[in-house]
Amino acid sequence: MQYSEGQVGRVFTVRIDDGEDFIREIQRFVTAMNIQSGMIHFLGAVRSAKVVTGPKEPVIPPVPRREEIFGGWELLGFATIYPGEEEPSIHIHTVAGKGIRSLAGCLREKAEVYLVIEAIVTEFVGISARRLPDEKTGVSLPVFDRTLP
Protein backbone atom coordinates (compact mmCIF):
# COMPACT_ATOMS: atom_id res chain seq x y z
CA MET A 1 0.00 0.00 0.00
CA GLN A 2 1.53 3.24 -1.18
CA TYR A 3 0.69 6.49 0.58
CA SER A 4 1.84 10.02 1.29
CA GLU A 5 1.33 12.32 4.25
CA GLY A 6 0.60 16.03 4.21
CA GLN A 7 -1.62 18.79 5.51
CA VAL A 8 -4.64 20.67 4.23
CA GLY A 9 -3.73 23.89 2.41
CA ARG A 10 -6.11 26.36 0.78
CA VAL A 11 -9.82 25.68 0.34
CA PHE A 12 -11.71 27.00 -2.65
CA THR A 13 -15.46 27.28 -3.08
CA VAL A 14 -16.30 27.19 -6.77
CA ARG A 15 -19.42 27.71 -8.86
CA ILE A 16 -19.66 26.34 -12.40
CA ASP A 17 -22.58 27.74 -14.34
CA ASP A 18 -25.31 26.43 -16.61
CA GLY A 19 -24.02 25.32 -20.00
CA GLU A 20 -20.36 25.12 -18.96
CA ASP A 21 -18.38 21.89 -19.13
CA PHE A 22 -17.70 20.90 -15.54
CA ILE A 23 -14.71 18.73 -16.40
CA ARG A 24 -12.98 21.38 -18.48
CA GLU A 25 -13.75 24.17 -16.04
CA ILE A 26 -12.57 22.34 -12.93
CA GLN A 27 -9.40 21.30 -14.76
CA ARG A 28 -8.86 24.92 -15.74
CA PHE A 29 -9.48 26.06 -12.16
CA VAL A 30 -7.06 23.57 -10.59
CA THR A 31 -4.40 24.58 -13.12
CA ALA A 32 -4.97 28.32 -12.63
CA MET A 33 -4.73 28.02 -8.83
CA ASN A 34 -1.61 25.90 -9.18
CA ILE A 35 -3.00 23.10 -7.01
CA GLN A 36 -0.61 20.14 -7.00
CA SER A 37 -2.52 17.63 -4.88
CA GLY A 38 -5.97 17.78 -3.40
CA MET A 39 -9.55 16.63 -3.54
CA ILE A 40 -12.81 17.92 -4.93
CA HIS A 41 -16.33 17.43 -3.65
CA PHE A 42 -19.23 18.56 -5.78
CA LEU A 43 -22.99 18.59 -6.14
CA GLY A 44 -25.30 19.99 -8.79
CA ALA A 45 -26.79 18.78 -12.04
CA VAL A 46 -25.89 18.14 -15.67
CA ARG A 47 -27.73 18.42 -18.95
CA SER A 48 -25.58 15.58 -20.31
CA ALA A 49 -22.47 13.65 -19.33
CA LYS A 50 -20.36 10.63 -20.17
CA VAL A 51 -19.76 8.11 -17.42
CA VAL A 52 -17.60 4.97 -17.36
CA THR A 53 -19.64 2.49 -15.32
CA GLY A 54 -17.23 -0.34 -14.71
CA PRO A 55 -15.44 -2.67 -17.09
CA LYS A 56 -17.17 -4.95 -19.57
CA GLU A 57 -15.39 -7.80 -17.79
CA PRO A 58 -13.26 -7.49 -14.63
CA VAL A 59 -10.00 -8.18 -16.46
CA ILE A 60 -6.71 -6.32 -16.85
CA PRO A 61 -6.37 -4.13 -18.86
CA PRO A 62 -9.96 -2.91 -18.52
CA VAL A 63 -12.33 -2.42 -21.44
CA PRO A 64 -14.59 0.39 -20.17
CA ARG A 65 -18.36 0.19 -20.30
CA ARG A 66 -19.74 3.62 -21.16
CA GLU A 67 -23.06 5.30 -20.50
CA GLU A 68 -24.17 8.68 -21.72
CA ILE A 69 -26.86 10.53 -19.80
CA PHE A 70 -29.15 13.28 -21.05
CA GLY A 71 -31.91 15.49 -19.80
CA GLY A 72 -31.18 16.79 -16.31
CA TRP A 73 -29.44 14.47 -13.84
CA GLU A 74 -28.56 15.34 -10.24
CA LEU A 75 -24.91 14.74 -9.29
CA LEU A 76 -22.94 14.04 -6.15
CA GLY A 77 -19.24 13.41 -6.65
CA PHE A 78 -15.69 13.22 -5.45
CA ALA A 79 -12.34 13.56 -7.20
CA THR A 80 -8.64 13.31 -6.44
CA ILE A 81 -6.01 15.65 -7.89
CA TYR A 82 -2.38 14.68 -8.44
CA PRO A 83 0.29 16.04 -10.78
CA GLY A 84 0.00 14.30 -14.14
CA GLU A 85 2.56 14.00 -16.87
CA GLU A 86 1.82 17.44 -18.26
CA GLU A 87 -1.05 18.97 -16.34
CA PRO A 88 -2.96 18.20 -13.12
CA SER A 89 -4.60 14.77 -13.36
CA ILE A 90 -8.12 14.71 -11.94
CA HIS A 91 -9.93 11.42 -11.33
CA ILE A 92 -13.65 12.09 -10.88
CA HIS A 93 -16.29 9.64 -9.65
CA THR A 94 -19.94 10.57 -9.44
CA VAL A 95 -23.38 9.23 -8.83
CA ALA A 96 -26.05 10.64 -11.12
CA GLY A 97 -29.79 10.45 -10.46
CA LYS A 98 -32.90 11.16 -12.47
CA GLY A 99 -36.26 10.10 -11.10
CA ILE A 100 -35.97 6.62 -9.68
CA ARG A 101 -32.91 5.82 -11.79
CA SER A 102 -29.29 6.34 -10.80
CA LEU A 103 -25.88 5.27 -11.96
CA ALA A 104 -22.39 5.58 -10.55
CA GLY A 105 -19.03 5.70 -12.23
CA CYS A 106 -16.16 7.74 -13.56
CA LEU A 107 -17.00 11.09 -15.18
CA ARG A 108 -15.07 11.48 -18.44
CA GLU A 109 -14.63 13.85 -21.36
CA LYS A 110 -17.62 16.13 -20.93
CA ALA A 111 -20.31 17.03 -18.39
CA GLU A 112 -22.51 19.96 -19.40
CA VAL A 113 -23.82 21.76 -16.32
CA TYR A 114 -27.55 22.21 -15.75
CA LEU A 115 -28.26 25.26 -13.53
CA VAL A 116 -25.11 24.92 -11.40
CA ILE A 117 -22.45 22.64 -10.03
CA GLU A 118 -21.03 23.69 -6.68
CA ALA A 119 -17.54 22.39 -5.95
CA ILE A 120 -15.25 22.50 -2.94
CA VAL A 121 -11.59 22.14 -3.86
CA THR A 122 -9.33 21.25 -0.93
CA GLU A 123 -5.61 21.59 -1.50
CA PHE A 124 -3.07 19.32 0.17
CA VAL A 125 0.46 20.48 0.92
CA GLY A 126 3.43 18.27 1.67
CA ILE A 127 2.12 15.37 -0.43
CA SER A 128 4.59 13.69 -2.77
CA ALA A 129 2.57 12.26 -5.65
CA ARG A 130 2.32 11.83 -9.37
CA ARG A 131 -0.34 10.09 -11.45
CA LEU A 132 1.37 7.99 -14.10
CA PRO A 133 0.44 5.30 -16.60
CA ASP A 134 0.84 1.91 -14.95
CA GLU A 135 2.04 -0.97 -17.09
CA LYS A 136 0.65 -3.74 -14.93
CA THR A 137 -2.97 -2.54 -14.87
CA GLY A 138 -3.11 -0.48 -18.09
CA VAL A 139 -4.53 2.57 -16.29
CA SER A 140 -3.00 5.66 -14.68
CA LEU A 141 -2.32 5.28 -10.97
CA PRO A 142 -1.07 7.64 -8.29
CA VAL A 143 2.50 6.96 -7.24
CA PHE A 144 3.35 8.02 -3.69
CA ASP A 145 6.59 8.32 -1.72
CA ARG A 146 5.86 5.93 1.13
CA THR A 147 4.84 2.30 1.53
CA LEU A 148 3.06 0.50 4.32
CA PRO A 149 4.35 -3.06 3.92
* Smallest separation, CB 36 to its own copies (Å): 11
Q: From residue 57, give the alpha-carbon distance in Å to each of 60, 87, 113.
A: 9, 30, 31
Q: From residue 59, give the alpha-carbon distance in Å to each of 54, 64, 70, 138.
A: 11, 10, 29, 10
- Sorted by sequence, the CB contacts under 8 Å of residue 28 that are 6+ apart come out as none
In 3D space, the residue among 70, 116, 81, 111 whose CA is nearest the CA of residue 94 turns out to be: 111
* Smallest separation, CB 112 to its own copies (Å): 10
d(CA 78, CA 95): 9
d(CA 24, CA 16): 10
- Indicate the residue among 57 and 86 with the shorter CB distance to its own copies: 57
- Indicate the residue among 7 and 86 with the shorter CB distance to its own copies: 7
* Smallest separation, CB 86 to its own copies (Å): 20
- Indicate the residue among 66 and 85 with the shorter CB distance to its own copies: 66
At residue 33, φ and ψ (nearest 5 deg) are: -85, -5
* Smallest separation, CB 13 to its own copies (Å): 5
- Indicate the residue among 43 and 84 with the shorter CB distance to its own copies: 43
* Smallest separation, CB 144 to its own copies (Å): 6
